[in-house]
Amino acid sequence: MGPSRNPSSAPPLALPAPAAEGPARGAFALGEEQRVPLRLTVTRGVLGMELYEPIDVGPIEVRRLSLTLPNLKFPLDLSGGVPQFRHRRGELEHATLCSSGLRLAKFFEPRVAGVLGALLRAPAVFARPQGIGVGLVAEQAALAFDLLWVPDGRHARFVVSEARGVGLRGAALGYALRALDGIFLGLAEREGRVIAIRDAGAALGRLLLPAVGARAPSARRVTFGRLGTNADELSVQLDESFGPVAFSPAGTRALELAGLVRSADDALARGAADDARSGYLLALEQAPRHPELVRLVADIDLQVGDRAEAALGMVVESMQAIEAGLTGAELLWRVGDVDGARQAVIEAVRHETFAPLSALIWCRLAERETSAIERRTALDRAVALAPGLELPRGRRFAARLERGDSEGALADAEHLEAMTPGARGKHEQNLRAARAFAAAGFAHEARRCFERALRYAPDDARATAGLARTLLEAGLRERATTLLARAVALSEQSGKPDADALIDLALVLARDLQDLPQAVARVRQVSAASPRHVEARQLEAHWRALVGDVAGASLVYGRMREAIELGAEVPPKAALYLLEAAEFERTVEGDVLAAERHLAVALRVAPQDEAIAERYRAVAAEAALLQRARKRDR
């Protein structure tokens, strides 16, 4: 339409929007206080209406909207403004609809919840040739797919293309279709991989015009144009002068395939993998060696362990296996071709636009690599692609620790802290890093991370005890003892005494301060539910024997043996503890039978230990002699 003028100065009405019907309809409804800024226009002798300010409808900004009111006879009284013509049914002439990747992502986020599990960030929506791309990332999985714009006259229409993912338990297309079912619930119809909003212009008119008491316009003459992109902004127009949109080759191919596999796609979306596979095989009879169909069948077969060779054979009939992306890589790994799988991964990430997906693909390669150098290279590439993603960074931290690169690992630990939200999250991140450093023997780095953990949670018993242990290794006994006592006190306040802190404090008391009674008191606080219960009983019995409490030591050694016998797992050094208990019973208590019982359990937990077996035979022989002597005495 040409330039217009406003013959009426009457203000626009601010009436409430129609009641929403369900959550999806409500998302595209007008707000309670939102007005529709319509005014009358006269263009080329035809009266009409138009928006004179943009208006938001869900994630869409209606930037322009104009309609004509046909079959009116002049002269007209325009003093009543828009309300005077509310009973007239207009004809939609033009509409300009805009949005942005950010607005669409915000709209999509609650509607894709549960498709991959908890998302690490909002969905990504980005421009693609003739459409948009959508990316989702969870802790160990990512999904991306394209929505190609293929309008059908006045009907808004998209077709799904290039669905791909990593860490999924099925074909990526099935996840993409389920995500779209949530996004377009109540707004559009999905038939296979095609999503359509029927008579979209009329639907827009029904939303806006009744809000000012006017009739919804007809939209039979308008046609959708191309989808325009400018940086993050997306726009599309409806106009009566447009002809049919010329689709790109990719859009044409995607529509052709969609018509061939509609029922199979629907089966895949509802989780009926066998029905979907049968449908894709039937489609392959009509479109032999179609690469997309072959990949879909292979994706389904990947979930069945013994189909890898058959699936790979089908793939290589249609394309090189390395061209099948991550699907090809998984199949090549299954048959033992590591070099081929590596090439397939490189090919998969070469043109990938969703960086988190590329990063997790590199992480997948790192899991499979047998070479430490190749593994590190894959993780470096993953971190470079998605520096704010925790999984690649965390795995590189572990890999750097494994090869002794404490400086690099510390840098990754600091990045992990920075990207973790909230004081509690940062505390836990530092605590995990500190424990990893301590286990790898890097006391200085462990101390630094424990101190940073305490910065966010100064009363945490675990971090306090961990810092104390690093100080013990550094020879700072006095400060370490103070911190251990504080850790014990803090853990007691929570009702869960920290076994590690108790044992460490007891060791300091016994070895450095020579206070064995107090050391015994501390290890006695270690509960039977602790993984270190057996160790605590051994230390208690040993120290009781040293202070002369022979009866008490014997009793505690017996409790230690019972804990080993009844435990679900054999604790480390259990056989050595039992050997010590047997020696105590034989030499101090003079109880050969008790010694034999300890050694019998030791032999059970360490049947290959020749020293224990030899000791058991000697004590068993001595016990047998003792038994015969007692019989003679009777």
Assess whether pLDDT exceeds 70 at residue 107: yes
Is the model more confident about 38 or about 391? 391
Rounded (10°) angle between helices 325-334 and 338-350: 170
Give the model's pLDDT for residue 415: 96
- The dihedral over CA atoms of 217, 220, 226, 232, expressed in degrees to the nearest 10, equals 20
pLDDT digits over 321-356, tens only? Answer: 988 989 999 999 988 899 999 999 999 999 899 999
Tokens, residue 629: 């002597």
Residue 197 included in any domain: yes
pLDDT in tens, 260-275: 999 999 999 999 999 9
Q: Which domain holds residue 220?
A: 1-129+143-158+182-243
| Cβ contact 16:34 at 8 Å | no
| 42/59 Cα distance (integer angstroms) | 31
> Among candidates 315, 259, 291, which has minimal Cα distance to 162?
291
pLDDT at 283 over 70: yes
pLDDT at 633: 66
Residue at 19 is within a domain: yes
| 231 is a domain residue | yes
Q: In angstroms, rounded to a whole number, what is the distance separating the alpha carbons of residues 328 and 334?
A: 10
- In this prediction, residue 477 has a pLDDT band, given cuts at 50, 70 and 90, of confident
Length of the chain equals 634
Q: Quick check: is 629 in a domain?
A: no
The mean per-residue pLDDT over the stretch 480-505 comes to 82
CB proximity list for 493: less than 8 A, separation 6 or greater: none
Identify the bridge partners of residue 133 per DSSP, sorted by sequence position.
126, 146
Identify whether 412 is part of a domain. Answer: no
**Are 354 and 143 contacting, i.e. CB atoms less than 8 angstroms apart?**
no
pLDDT score, position 351: 86
Least confident among 71-85, 276-290, 585-599: 71-85
- State the average pLDDT over residues 88-113: 92
Q: Take residue 94 and report the two structure tokens written for it.
A: 């033009």
Q: How far is CA 470 from CA 87, 321, 465, 501, 611, in A?
A: 82, 51, 9, 12, 35
Q: Are 64 and 243 in contact (CB under 8 A)?
A: no
Question: What's the pLDDT tens digit per position in 398-416?
Answer: 999 999 999 999 999 999 9
Give pLDDT, residue 17: 34
pLDDT band at residue 210 under the 50/70/90 scheme: confident
Q: Is the pLDDT of residue 632 over 90?
A: no
Inform me whether the pLDDT recorded for 45 exceeds 80: no
Residue 101 lies in a domain: yes
Q: Is residue 118 part of a domain?
A: yes
Can you give the pLDDT at residue 217?
85
The dihedral through the CA atoms of 202, 207, 209, 210 has a sign that is positive
**Distance between CA atoms of 496 and 483, rounded to whole angstroms?**
17
b/e sequence 214-237, b meaning 16+ C-beta within 10 Å:
bbbbbbeebbbbbbebeeeebbbb
Q: Is the pLDDT of residue 25 over 60?
A: no
Query: What DSSP letter does each residue of 520-586 carry, written as one string?
Result: HHHHTTS-TTSTTHHHHHHHHHHHHHHTT-HHHHHHHHHHHHHHHHH-SSPPTTHHHHHHHHHHHII
Q: Is 90:41 a contact under the CB 8 Å cutoff?
A: no
pLDDT exceeds cutoff 60 at 21: no
Confidence label for 303 from pLDDT (cuts 50, 70 and 90): confident
DSSP string across 294-319 = HHHHHHHHTTSGGGHHHHHHHHHHHS
Model pLDDT for residues 545-590, shown as the tens digit of each residue: 999 999 999 999 999 999 999 888 888 899 999 999 999 999 998 8
The model's pTM? 0.79
| Cα three-residue angle 140-321-374, rounded to 5 degrees | 55
Q: Is 543 exposed, middle or buried (0-12, 13-18, 19+ CB in 10 A)?
A: buried
Average pLDDT of the segment spanning 119-147: 94
Please state the domain count of the chain: 1
Where does residue 192 fall: left (phi above 0), alpha (psi -120 to 50 degrees), or beta otherwise? left
Q: Quick one: residue 290, left, alpha or beta (phi over 0 = left, psi -120 to 50 = alpha)?
A: beta
Does residue 61 fall inside a structural domain? yes
Residue with tokens 């007005």: 35
